[in-house]
Amino acid sequence: MDKNPRPSHDDLIRQRAEHVIAFVKNVLPRHLDLTLSEALVLGLLRQGVKTFFTVFGHGSTEVGEVLRVYQQAGLVKVYGLRSEIEASHAATALRWVTGEKAAVLTSIGPGALQALAASLVPASDGIGVWYLFGDETTEDEGFNMQQVPRHEQGLFLQMASTMGRAYNLHTPLALPTALQRGAATVNHPYRPGPFYLLLPMNTQAAWLPDFNLDELPEVQPISLGAADGDYAQAAQWIQDAKQVIIKVGGGGRFAGPELVQLLERSGGVLAHTPIATGCVPYSHPQSMGVGGSKGSLPGNYAMEHADLLIAVGTRAVCQSDSSRTGYPNVKQVININADLDDATHYRHTLALVGDVRRTLERLNHELGGHVGKKEGWLEACATRKSGWQVFKQERFLNPALQDDYWGGPVLTQPAAIKIAADWAKARGAVSFFDAGDVQANGFQIVEDEHPGQTFTDTGASYMGFAVSALLATAVASKPFYGLALTGDGSFTMTPQILIDGVEHGAHGCILLLDNGRMGAITGLQNDQYGRGFATWNTVHVDYLAWGRSVPGLLALDGGRTPESLKAALEQAGKHAGLSLIHVPVYFGPDPLGGMGVYGRWNVGNWCDDVQKMRHEIGL
């Protein structure tokens, strides 16, 4: 007879309930008899993972049963949702905005693959999220339904491993190692990301007698030091340069004080990637706002003319450095990054590999207390910045344009976004921007004074992220109000929030900017080929009727004027739950209808020219 045999179903439920009580009282014994799934949940709890966004399936019922018992005691919170993509976006947004950890739990096959697709967001934006996927049985007795239909082993593991770090719980007692790898991935000090834990259906309920809980890893706080580099050389380059640009990416979002000091000591100006909005106050005279493929007048002017680039925490995506043609006059680069590959991305580089803030501190120290001056540089950039303010103002003063689809004048995206972003800031709401023109216009318009005001997934630009992100408002331990600015295309890709948001108590507003099309793509097609194609609809969808079909959801017509939109926002803000404001918006060639494009991009038929220029620059 086994020493600690697997108990009967009823005894197992009783045992788990006892474990939970002991956990709450902090008197769990060192050794426990439990299933692998319960050990997994205990392991995640030890790491502070208490929130689970899930769509259960036949591939994850055992973990689900453990979570049911643990939720009853208030130890975890499980949100049953309608789409794994939505679940992934919600978990990502929660971690991104609040720092709270979450896991996405799916079935095997389609559910896991939907979550895997959506995990491109945390992979691209550097957010730590746990993914728990049901997986095929390890005995290989024949095909499991929903596995990849090939006579090969571990195909889901291969797919997940392509996206990030992954582990298959093929052998139950490997759990501690799996959990340690996961902890190191989702809590990585400078490049966190998704971690995929694959749970074979036949090991989830594997019985682990006398399991030693001490084996479950804790999260170890890790921080890096300043780069160990040639700071004297860096300071010399800065002093010798005539026109310095500091380009900040996601890794420099929280280095505001150090960046402001570097601006003062270097005499340079700062442009940032969309994800780093608010890294220094937009109102700082040396902040030029966003720069890159969409960019801005001042941000791109500075990028075009600078002779020294100080790159800070940026991985140089096509959008952020105009497909590597963003700095045609740069002769030297000081690249501060914790990642070696990113730090050595450009030629003529002094790479400072280390913690961004600490490295900036040392560089500032090296530069000394004096104020750097670069003849004419700040003035030239300041002129572009005031020109940009005038350019924006022109759009806000002409808020409506005649539109064919809507058969009359409707608000432009710039006008609607400005009104909504101002409203969100005034009430301390967090703004999320979905993909498309909404996103680009958004990061060109917002003038953030600190990080945390705007979240925009420019890493993956995953349509539907913003609206699903509103679920985080229902979950966060410190409540916040969310405003999701979305297009009709993005919203209809992931509209489950209408139901799940109300069901779970989201507090926020979906602002649906409806131009009856995937406007960003029609725009690209027009610019590249002179003709749009298959990127619009002719049916006029009654989105407010969608909204009204969900009890508790407040559906409002945002109307066609600034006044009507402001009134709708005010009304939405007073609603205790989730609201949807529908706003018809302009799409067309009038320059007042958009914010313009200032950089270069290697897409479509632009590739040859952009690539040629890149090879000429050779940076």
Ligand X SMILES: Cc1ncc(C[n+]2csc(CCOP(=O)(O)OP(=O)(O)O)c2C)c(N)n1
The entry of ligand X, Mg ion, none that residue 462 binds, CB within 5 to 8 Å by partner kind: ligand X
CB-nearer residue toward ligand X: 193 or 519: 519
The residues, ordered by sequence, that sit 6+ positions from 435 with a Cβ below 8 Å of its Cβ are 457, 461, 462, 463, 464, 465, 487, 489, 490, 520
Scan residues 452-481 and list those touching ligand X (CB under 6 A): 461-463
Q: Does 593 bind ligand X (CB under 6 A)?
A: no
Please tell me the distance from the alpha carbon of residue 214 to that of residue 30, in angstroms, as a whole number.
7
CB-nearer residue toward ligand X: 377 or 586: 586
Question: Count of residues for the chain?
Answer: 619
CB-nearer residue toward Mg ion: 175 or 512: 512
Q: Does 593 bind Mg ion (CB under 5 A)?
A: no
* Of the residues 38, 355, 437, 500, which one makes contact with ligand X according to CB under 6 A: 437
User: Which two three-digit tokens encode residue 14?
Assistant: 């009783």
Binding mask 542-571 for ligand X (x = CB under 6 A): ------------------------------
Residue 35: φ, ψ to 5°: -85, 165
* Cα within 13 Å of Cα(328), Cβ side: 14
The entry of Mg ion, ligand X, none that residue 307 binds, CB within 5 to 8 Å by partner kind: none
The single residue listed with the structure tokens 């090991």 is 203
- The H or E element that residue 583 is part of is strand 578-584
User: Which two three-digit tokens encode residue 450?
Assistant: 């600190």
Q: Does 488 bind Mg ion (CB under 5 A)?
A: yes
Q: Are 308 and 331 in contact (CB under 8 A)?
A: yes
Piece of the chain touching ligand X by CB under 6 A; list 142-150, 226-234, 487-495, 593-601 = 487-495
CB of 36 to ligand X, least distance (A): 34
User: Which two three-digit tokens encode residue 4?
Assistant: 């600690």
Q: Are 73 and 13 in contact (CB under 8 A)?
A: no
Please tell me the distance from the alpha carbon of residue 393 to that of residue 488, in angstroms, as a whole number.
26
By three-state DSSP, how is residue 601 classified?
coil
The entry of Mg ion, ligand X, none that residue 101 binds, CB within 5 to 8 Å by partner kind: none
* Of the residues 103, 471, 520, 569, which one makes contact with ligand X according to CB under 6 A: 520
Q: Are 493 and 461 in contact (CB under 8 A)?
A: no
Q: Does 489 bind Mg ion (CB under 5 A)?
A: yes
Instruction: Please tell me what DSSP assigns to residue 428.
Output: T
Q: Does 494 bind Mg ion (CB under 5 A)?
A: no
Q: Does 488 bind ligand X (CB under 6 A)?
A: yes
User: Which two three-digit tokens encode residue 588?
Assistant: 């067309």
Scan residues 501-560 and list those touching Mg ion (CB under 5 A): 515, 519
Q: Does 447 bind Mg ion (CB under 5 A)?
A: no
Give the chain's radius of gyration (CA, Å): 26
- Using Cβ positions, the residue closest to ligand X within the complex turns out to be 487
Strand ranges in 298-369 using DSSP code E only, listed in sequence order: 308-312, 332-337, 349-353
Please tell me the distance from the alpha carbon of residue 351 to that of residue 354, in angstroms, as a whole number.
9
CB-nearer residue toward Mg ion: 224 or 592: 592
* Of the residues 34, 518, 595, 619, which one makes contact with ligand X according to CB under 6 A: 518
The entry of ligand X, Mg ion, none that residue 521 binds, CB within 5 to 8 Å by partner kind: ligand X
Please tell me the distance from the alpha carbon of residue 206 to that of residue 243, in angstroms, as a whole number.
64
CB of 513 to Mg ion, least distance (A): 7
CB of 434 to ligand X, least distance (A): 6
Q: Does 519 bind ligand X (CB under 6 A)?
A: yes
Residues that bind ligand X (CB under 6 A): 434-438, 461-463, 487-490, 493, 515, 517-521
Residues that bind Mg ion (CB under 5 A): 487-489, 515, 519
